[in-house]
Structure formats: structure tokens, C-alpha cells
Structure 1
Amino acid sequence: MRYGWTTGACATAATTAAYTALLTGEFPDPVEVWLPKDRRPAFALATERLSAGSATAGVIKDAGDDPDVTHGALILATVSPGEPGSGVTFRAGEGVGTVTRPGLPLAVGEPAINPMPRRFIAEAVARVAASHGGTGDVVVEIAIPDGEEIARQTWNPRLGIVGGLSILGTTGVVVPYSCSAWIDSIRRGVDVARAMGYTHVAGATGSTSERVAAELHGLPEGALLDMGDFAGAVLKYLRRHPVPRLTLAGGFAKFSKLAAGHLDLHSKRSQVDLRLLASLAPPIGEQILAANTALHALELAQAAELPLGDLVAAKALATAADVLGPAPVEVDVLVIDRAGTIVGRAPG
């Protein structure tokens, strides 16, 4: 299946083109961007507009074969000079949301441009400035016409992101979501690990948790299973084809679902149960019930010095043990935050 590009990658491409035009008077088309893993995709421009004090460029998002609601959306970046020494200032234009509730990786009042896309854009601005004699002090406004309408098909309204979509993506790449292919790759990963004689494997929900598990336990690449949201697929296959030790690593929200007994952790098929989290931290149960997100619940517990991460890890471990049954597999669970810090562990 054909891969696509995230809104973050598209916004980076549009920003690169707009800032280049602001400094040189010409839009690069296509425009190349730098993404992790040495990817250097080039994007055709759909819109170019240059004025005395700003430049705007637009890229059409191609999500590949993924059923992404933002496929075909126009991602616009308008770049204008910022105050000296200000660096890159982000603003939400038409169709890009603003954060209004805690519990997200952005402060309340900030444009819904996630940390990794901000990093991509800031690095792109620095490269353009170095190449064309700019200062790198700019205001970058990202807009998505019709973004507010599209956002109604997402979780943004419920999360308190108002006015439009979020600019997302940790790698810049959209991997087509094929359940059967993904599950098959998990099974093949277990098969390879067993064939290599590995006695310890790790299943992680994402790249950050995978890195933490690998570094903590010194695991080779061949022992890492690309679990994603399919915790059940890992556990059920290991029940039939056991490996002596399994580490499960993932974010707090994902593993809150596993703690509740869900084996498919995708947002379309399972949701965080705040009632469960509240029951694990009775002193602040009412606060957790009113929390905006799982991350918000964790922050509340941390502020109250309650080990909610460890308690979620323990319940996730119990779910895993139930699925594995009598299979000779010893399991440990690592709950990771967005910064790569272990916030919960079982056994402790």
C-alpha cells in the first residue's frame, strides 16, 4: 500500500517554500523537506502568494492509501518577519485549532501544532535562513481551509481543540492502516525472534516506547515487535508460540485501555475509561472524572503524588496475563510519557 504524508510534513514543506520566497522572491517548486530516517520528499506547490511583508505557500495533503479525513486538504503556511531574537512564533490560521483544555502536549491557548511538527518547521526555517541570509525570526501561521468542518469528524472537539484541525505527525509519514497486514507482520516478528533464539522480546505502541524498552533491556532490533495498537495480536500469538520473556511498552492513554481489558488500542475501537482511572486514585477520583484526557488524569495524579502510572501498569499486566493463560511467558509492563520517561512499571 502507498504511504502518504502527515499534515506536519505538508506544513513544513509549505513553510520552507514561503520563507524561501520571503527571502529570495522565488518559490521553490517542488520544495524538499528533511524528515527523520533521512527521508527527503519533495512536494509540489498548490498555492503561491508573495507580498511586501509576507509569503504564503500551500501543499495538498496526500495520505496515500490511508483512510485519512485530511486527505486532499490544502495546508497553507504564511511566513512574515518576527521580532528580533524571537525565533519561530506559531499561529493558528483558518481551520487550525487552538488548545482550550489541559491534558494535551501543548499549553492552553497554543495553536494545535504538535511538538514534532513544530520541530520540523523550526529546523526548516533555520536551514532556509542559513542558506539565504535570514535571521530565522519569523511568524509562521498554518491554515487549512475547511479545517473546522473536517475537524468535526475527529476527536478534536471533545478534546477541547476548537476552531479546526491539529497539525500532527512524529515521522512525517502516514503508514496505511491495514489491520491484517499489521497483524501478520507481528506474527512474523515473533517467528523471526524465535528463530534467532531470542528469549526476550518487546511489543511497543510507538517509536518512543520502543526505544525506551530497547535501551532499558538492551534488546536487539530483531527482538522488537511493531505492536502498534494490536496488543491482543501480540499476546494471542505468543500464547501459541511462546518466548520466555515479553516487555510491553506504551503510552499512558494506550495502556489505560489495556488496563481496562481492551486488546485493540486504536481510538476508533476503544476509549480511555476515566471511571477506571478514578477508581485507582480515590483521593482525587472526582478530579479525574472531570479530566479532559488520560494525560490530564496522569498529571493530576502526579501532582497529588499518587502512583497512577504504576497502578495502570499493574492492571495492564493482569490483562496480559489473562490472555497468555498458562503460556510460559514472563511479562513486564512499562508505561511511558511523551518525553520518553517511565511513569509506570509492573512489576514495580
Structure 2
Amino acid sequence: MSDLQEIPDKPLRSGYTTGACATACTKASLLALVNQKNTNEITITLPIGRDATFHIKECKLSKLSATCSVIKDAGDDPDVTHKAEISAKVTFNNTGTIEFKKGEGVGLVTLPGLEIAVGEPAINPVPRKMMTTVCHKILSDYNLTNKGVTIEISVKNGEQLAKRTLNSRLGILGGISILGTTGIVTPFSAASYIASIQQGIDVAIANQHKTLLINSGGRSEKALKNVFPNFPEAACIHYGNWIQETFEKIHISKEIQQVNMGIMLGKASKLAQGHTNTHSNKTSWNKQFIHQLAIEAGYNKETADKVLALNMAGRLQEIFTFDAEENFYQKLLQKCYEHCIKIAPKTTLNIYLINNNNQVIPYKKV
């Protein structure tokens, strides 16, 4: 999962979660099975109380099972599952309960620490509740309360789509997760990314890891793994742009004792000023602040003034040699350290500055 894209300057259309789509498919399939009649459209009530109507792409029906599918519409959100085909196959069982099975393209939980138990399909609690509710309502309406229902959720090409998510890092293998708490996808919302950060830390804790390796993304992680070559995958977290939320989670997670943080030069120039959300739509680097930082680090006015002519933070290396002994970078890292440790004061924090050539500078605490 990478940082969020630039947010378009226009009204944005919302969409529906994979959980809402799976629920629509489940309702359509169970009605088709009960009535032995295909359906073309289905309406469900979302967790936020709003009704949503879905077009059924395909409905396959027999005496024993029914399978309906929908095409997910994520609205204007750059969601990896936008336009994915999600389907639900339902059959009756004799347990009197609602059971969930992993279909093709849906992930399997293999590590502890998530809300779903190891060995279960990666269908989150709210979507499970949504599907269970619609099944119970239909069984009640048709006087079939003695029966149970087995729901098998599938996502076409889900295993390939999952490679563009953080699922494997969370121990979710073989496909995507069925997600959503409201049923609605808010375009360019940070909620799903922040949730993945929090889940990643929970997984690390559940697997007995007390030290985290956190980076903004894959590129900085690759550079920092040269410093920590054997670091366990389950303890590596991508914070993206959400430094505040990452350290808040670390702070309340008492099991985490140490954090090794990698940060790219551009993001460091923002964090040093106190911006703990470093997305370009939220903040940009402040040349005046960096100019003053250079003066505080002991550079003369002539050198510091060169900062004011730069158009991007990455070019600071043209003025200050990218080296651990360069006072400017140590001052920059000091400011970053102070803002992070303020959020999680009981954590042992080590910070490493990374440039585009994958060179790494450690912060030398005084």
C-alpha cells in the first residue's frame, strides 16, 4: 500500500465497501435459493442506516445452492478493489447457525492479533454481522428458522489484488479482506490506512515482538533493512503519512518497548516543524523554517540562505552533504525525534534519515 494519491479538486463521489457488496450478494443469493428464482437487483440497509441498491451481475441457481455477484463501485476513491467482482454462494446447513467459508480471492487469517481468529476467512466483524442479519431476516420471513446458512465469499482476481495491499504483512494470505464499518467508502479517506497501521501493530504484539521497524513505505523500509537485515516481517509497519496515529497506537500498546523509525528527507523536513500528517495535500515543507534550522545548527548566513532558493526538500543535499557528521541533518533528526517522543514518551525511539539513494543517517542522541 502506498501513500494516498493527490486529491482531485472536484466534488467526489462515495462508493460501497467490500462488506456492503458481500452482504448484497448474500441477500440476493439466499432469496434466490429460497424462491428458486433469479434476482436482478437487491437493496440492503447499511450500518449507518441508509439503504443501498445493488445491481446483480450474475446469478447461478440450483436446488442446493445459489451464487450471486456484484461489481464493487468505490466511487472516486483509488481503492484497489474498485470494479472487482464479489460473489456469495449460499447453501443451507443443519447447524442452525450462519457459517462463513473462504472462497477464491478472499484471504485466510494465519497470524494472531486480528479481530478474526487464525484459520478463518478474512471477513471482518461488521460485514459478518451484516450478512448474519440479512440471513436471519430471510429465514424468519420464510419460516426456515430451523435451518442454518453457509456463506462462501469470493473475489475475482482477489489474490492478485491483495498484492497491492498490506494483507500479507498482517498474515492474511491468498486474497483480500472483506472490510467496512459503515458500508460506505469515503473518497481518499485515511481510515483504511490507519486501520492497517493499528492492525499491523496488534499482529506484531500477538507474535511477541517488542520492537518495531516503522517506515513511510516499501522504499524506505528496504533502505532501513540494510541496517536491520534480519528484522521479522511481522514487526515491520508502514506509517505512510500518519505519524501521529502510528505513535498514538504505539503509546497505548504497552508491549512495544522500542521503535526504529526510518523517514525520507522530504517527510523529515515536514515532521521537524511538527507536521505529523505529512501528506502533500495537508502540508508542504517550509523553507523559512529549514533556513532557521540551518542557522541553529551553526551554519553561516550565506550557507543557510541557499535553502531559500530550493524548490524541494530533497535538494537539501546540494547544500549539506548527506552524512551522519553533518550538523544540519542531526538538527533535523533532533526535531523529528522530539515531536515523535512527545506522542509516545515511554518508548525507546531510534530515528534514521533516508535519502533517494537509500543512504541512511542515524540520529545521534546527545
Q: TM-score range by the shorter chain?
A: 0.5 to 0.7
Partner secondary structure for residue 323 of structure 1: coil
Of 141, 154, 157, the match for 1:131: 141
For 2:3, the equivalent position in structure 1 comes to: none
Partner secondary structure for residue 69 of structure 2: strand
CA distance in 1, matches of 2:184, 2:220: 24
Partner secondary structure for residue 170 of structure 1: coil
4+ residue runs of structure 1 moved beyond 3 angstroms? 250-256, 259-262, 265-271, 288-294, 310-315, 320-325
Report if aligned partners of 2:108, 2:174 keep a CA contact under 8 Å in 1. Answer: yes
- Which amino acid in structure 1 is aligned with residue 55 of structure 2? A
Alignment of 1:187-206 (within 5 A): none
Report if aligned partners of 2:111, 2:171 keep a CA contact under 8 Å in 1. Answer: yes
CA distance in 2, matches of 1:332, 1:122: 40
CA distance in 2, matches of 1:38, 1:266: 36
Report if aligned partners of 1:24, 1:132 keep a CA contact under 8 Å in 2. Answer: no
For 1:82, the equivalent position in structure 2 comes to: 93
Report if aligned partners of 1:92, 1:141 keep a CA contact under 8 Å in 2. Answer: yes
Deviation string 1:146-197 (CA, Å, 9 cap, x unpaired) is 1112112222223322221111111111110068xxxxxxxxxxxxxxxxxx
CA distance in 2, matches of 1:172, 1:145: 20
CA distance in 2, matches of 1:31, 1:115: 22
Give 5+ residue unaligned stretches, structure 2.
Answer: 1-11, 205-210, 238-250, 260-270, 276-334, 336-341, 345-366
Report if aligned partners of 1:20, 1:132 keep a CA contact under 8 Å in 2. Answer: no
Partner secondary structure for residue 51 of structure 2: coil
Partner secondary structure for residue 112 of structure 1: coil
Report if aligned partners of 1:69, 1:150 keep a CA contact under 8 Å in 2. Answer: yes
Using the size of structure 2 for normalisation, the TM-score is 0.53
CA distance in 1, matches of 2:220, 2:27: 38
Report if aligned partners of 1:90, 1:139 keep a CA contact under 8 Å in 2. Answer: yes
- Range with greater deviation from structure 2 (72-81 or 18-27): 18-27
For 1:168, the equivalent position in structure 2 comes to: 179
- Which amino acid in structure 2 is aligned with residue 323 of structure 1? G
Tell whether 2:82 aligns with 1:71. Answer: yes
Residue 27 of structure 1, CA deviation: 3.8
For 2:164, the equivalent position in structure 1 comes to: 153
For 1:122, the equivalent position in structure 2 comes to: 132
Change (3 A) 1:154 1:106: same
Give 5+ residue unaligned stretches, structure 1.
Answer: 180-204, 207-227, 230-249, 276-285, 295-306, 326-330, 334-348
For 1:94, the equivalent position in structure 2 comes to: 104
Report if aligned partners of 1:159, 1:293 keep a CA contact under 8 Å in 2. Answer: no
Aligned CA-pair RMSD: 4.2
Change (3 A) 1:51 1:121: same
CA distance in 2, matches of 1:30, 1:159: 35
Residue 270 of structure 1, CA deviation: 9.1
Change (3 A) 1:17 1:312: same
Of 309, 316, 326, the match for 2:253: 309
For 1:214, the equivalent position in structure 2 comes to: none
Tell whether 2:114 aligns with 1:104. Answer: yes
Percent of residue pairs bearing the same amino acid type:
41
Report if aligned partners of 1:30, 1:44 keep a CA contact under 8 Å in 2. Answer: yes
Report if aligned partners of 2:213, 2:235 keep a CA contact under 8 Å in 1. Answer: no
CA distance in 2, matches of 1:148, 1:313: 34
Residue 309 of structure 1, CA deviation: 2.1
For 1:225, the equivalent position in structure 2 comes to: none
Tell whether 2:153 aligns with 1:142. Answer: yes
The structure with the largest alpha-carbon Rg is 2
Residue 312 of structure 1, CA deviation: 6.2
CA distance in 2, matches of 1:131, 1:289: 51
For 1:55, the equivalent position in structure 2 comes to: 66
For 1:323, the equivalent position in structure 2 comes to: 274
Deviation string 1:270-317 (CA, Å, 9 cap, x unpaired) is 98xxx9xxxxxxxxxx9x9574678xxxxxxxxxxxx972476999xx
For 2:36, the equivalent position in structure 1 comes to: 25
Tell whether 2:25 aligns with 1:14. Answer: yes
Partner secondary structure for residue 142 of structure 1: strand
Of 50, 54, 66, the match for 1:43: 54
CA distance in 2, matches of 1:40, 1:290: 41
Deviation string 1:87-140 (CA, Å, 9 cap, x unpaired) is 111001111111122222211111111111111111111111122222251100
Using the size of structure 1 for normalisation, the TM-score is 0.56
Report if aligned partners of 2:57, 2:68 keep a CA contact under 8 Å in 1. Answer: yes
Partner secondary structure for residue 122 of structure 2: coil
